[in-house]
Amino acid sequence: MAGLPLSDFGLEWFKDILGQITDWLKEQLSTGYQTLSTELFGTPLPDQTGPSSLFGAPAPADSPWYDIYHSVVGGEIMILSLIILFLTVQGRHFLRIFQFGSPQKDRWGRRSAWTGAVFIVGWYWIGILSLYLVQGLTIGLIPNVAEVSGSVLDMLPVAATNPLMTFIFMALGALSLTALKAIFFLRELLLYVYLYGMPIGIAFAFSSLPVVSQIAARFCRQFIPLAVLPLPAAVLFRGYALLFGGNPVVSPGEALFQYVTVISLPLLGLYLTWKTFRYGAPLVTSAISRTGRTAATAGVIAGVAATGGAGAAATAARYGTRAGAAHAAIQRVGGDADATDRQTASATTGQDNLTTDADSDGGVPAYRRAEHDPGYY
């Protein structure tokens, strides 16, 4: 016991910590697969049946559909949207007094305003009908998610080729399932927001204003990717049901391939859903991506600073993580990081191109100014 190196203790502790984290991630992956159901890919709809679900008013207890209906159909949102559309059209007429614009654009603006008014008045029924269509397609495409998840989860082996590979696979699978559920939760929230505020966006989109109408039209078009978001994942699950449900067509034998099969379903589902979600909510996805890149960069800078010194950390912060890692590697190979940083700092802060001997080249040229080259004087 006394002759056992201290590094062996650290290695065993590292293995125990890695194994414990892997067990947690495996439990999270198994729980995520078990709780995965068809309701995750469902589309929010009013709690009604029959023709009244499309043409009738929701019940007061059906929140938030009751508030959306009474705000969008004859409520304050519809009235505000029609007022905005009317003011923009009248503004174009007012500009025609001062000979701004052209009669052709003015006629096109009037036709566009009438089209926008029709969309504003009928937006609630247009949006609800679109959601019912997407829900019907999703039900027709998606298989029994619980059976597919159970079939895939049964292939999960005890471990992969080594503990580190097992940890990586578990982390990828667990995080992918969690992110997939979070995206569909955000989708439901954004659908409510679009159904409630779309008439205002339609008013600006059909207002024929040079810049505002283009921005509003872009926001309005993003409702379509949000509505059809479950369809790519539904096609993916149907393909996995064909391959692994009932009588499996493909049965991987090695533990590595079994792990790849188990984590490929949430990974591919997350990729397809994220690519579609980016079209529907570019601001949200850009904020999430920026936050992830910032956190990763901060972690890399901290690690580079610990291993390569302050110079490597500054290089990583200014030029990126690759440059910082290369700087740290060069310093590791060359010697002490702090000594290299001090040499670099002294070399960069010193004065360059100074001549120590003023008479070496026949004296100081007459066109030289003393204040720009104090080494001569």
Question: CB–CB of 338/309 below 8 Å?
Answer: yes
287-299 mean pLDDT: 53
User: Is the model more confident about 55 or about 192?
Assistant: 192
pLDDT value at 282 more than 90:
no
User: Is residue 34 over pLDDT 70?
Assistant: yes
Among 27-31, 249-253, 296-300, 363-367, the minimum mean pLDDT is found in 296-300
What is the average per-residue pLDDT within 108-119?
A: 82
| Burial class of residue 294, CB neighbours in 10 A (0-12, 13-18, 19+) | exposed
Q: What is the pLDDT of residues 143-158, one digit of tens each?
A: 888 888 888 888 877 6
pLDDT score at 131: 93
Confirm whether pTM is higher than 0.95: no
Average pLDDT, the chain: 75
pLDDT higher at 265 or 8: 265
Residue with tokens 């921005």: 215
Greater confidence, 7 or 68? 68
Q: What is the arithmetic mean of pLDDT over 323-346?
A: 51
